[in-house]
Amino acid sequence: MGRPVALVTGASSGIGTEFARLLAERGHDLVLVARDKDRLEQLGKELEAAHGAQCEVLPADLTDATQLAAVEQRVATVDVLINNAGFGTFGNFWELPLDTELREIQLNVVALVRLTHAAAAAMVPRGKGGILNVSSIAGMAPTPGDATYAATKSFVTTFSQALHTELKGTGVAVTVLAPGFTRTEFQERSNYDTNRVPKMAWQEAPEVARAGLDGLAKNKAYVVPGAMNKVLAAAVGVTPNGIVRVMSGKIASQNH
């Protein structure tokens, strides 16, 4: 039998790159998906040299319907899907470009749903497979100043947990990973001011990716990596929504 194949979206940097490295280390071949072909090819060569992993580079902009359809076709043949691609925008919603907000929904929600559907529809008849969807602790609460991003991640969290329950007993694992502040290129690309984020709130991408893959291996429904994030998640769960909304807005207003 050959090595299992995992497809990772957003594999060109950050947590996505670390997913790919860990999967290769754990015996998977890879299909690497992102817009940056050069980075993907460099990563593929690294993983082949270090772990003997066969790496297929599949450049794609998942907000483009034609390119997304090509990735959907490939997803139907893999053993593991890591839905990691996504981006955020920060600021007052009415002041942000609408086209960008719609692209954010297209990538964070629509592309994730389409790829998850393609994977699950193929995996369930085979009686095995794994789907890991990357959300964020931002999705735990409505966040003024971060409205669209938080809403997309809220969708990913609830959608993935529902699917986890639907697929119990099928042999297909579904896990949602909800990291907090992670040192990647995400904040810079999103124009997010991190100067006021306390050092203790940060995690490194490799530990976040490891937590997600370990959770998927155990078919956990919901994984929040990091002690501070776990405390925050628990606090949000027992705090009235109005208070959470006000606190989230104050935090967001300090960082954009």
Question: Does residue 245 register a pLDDT over 50?
Answer: no
DSSP code of residue 218? T
Q: Is 149 a catalytic residue?
A: yes
Greatest mean pLDDT among 25-34, 86-95, 190-199, 230-239: 25-34
Which pair of structure tokens corresponds to residue 97? Answer: 């470009």
Mean pLDDT score of the chain, rounded to an integer? Answer: 87
pLDDT tens profile 50-71: 999 999 999 999 999 999 999 9
- Give the start-end residues of each E strand in 84-211: 129-134, 172-177, 182-183, 203-204
CA distance 254 to 193: 8
* Confidence bin at 215 (pLDDT 50/70/90): very high
149, 181, 186, 192: which is the annotated catalytic residue? 149
Phi and psi dihedrals of 8, rounded to 5?
-120, 120
Per-residue model confidence (pLDDT) at position 225: 81
Per-residue model confidence (pLDDT) at position 244: 42
CA distance 63 to 255: 27
DSSP code of residue 91? S
10, 87, 110, 114, 141 from 103: Cα distances, Å: 15, 9, 10, 15, 21
**Which domains, from first to last, does the chain contain?**
5-253 (3.40.50.720)
pLDDT tens profile 140-151: 878 888 899 999
User: What is the mean predicted confidence (pLDDT) over 227-248?
Assistant: 52
User: What is the mean predicted confidence (pLDDT) over 185-213?
Assistant: 68
Regarding predicted confidence, which is higher, 124 or 200? Answer: 124
* Confidence bin at 205 (pLDDT 50/70/90): confident
Per-residue model confidence (pLDDT) at position 121: 98
Residue whose C-alpha is closest to residue 231's, from 204, 200, 206: 200
The whole-model pTM stands at 0.86
Packing angle of the helix pair 98-105, 147-166 (nearest 10 deg) = 10
Question: Does residue 134 register a pLDDT over 80?
Answer: yes
Per-residue model confidence (pLDDT) at position 229: 58
Phi and psi dihedrals of 57, rounded to 5?
-95, 125
Question: Does residue 240 register a pLDDT over 90?
Answer: no
Question: Does residue 15 register a pLDDT over 70?
Answer: yes
Question: Does residue 253 register a pLDDT over 90?
Answer: no
pLDDT tens profile 157-178: 999 999 999 999 999 999 999 9
Regarding predicted confidence, which is higher, 229 or 255? Answer: 229
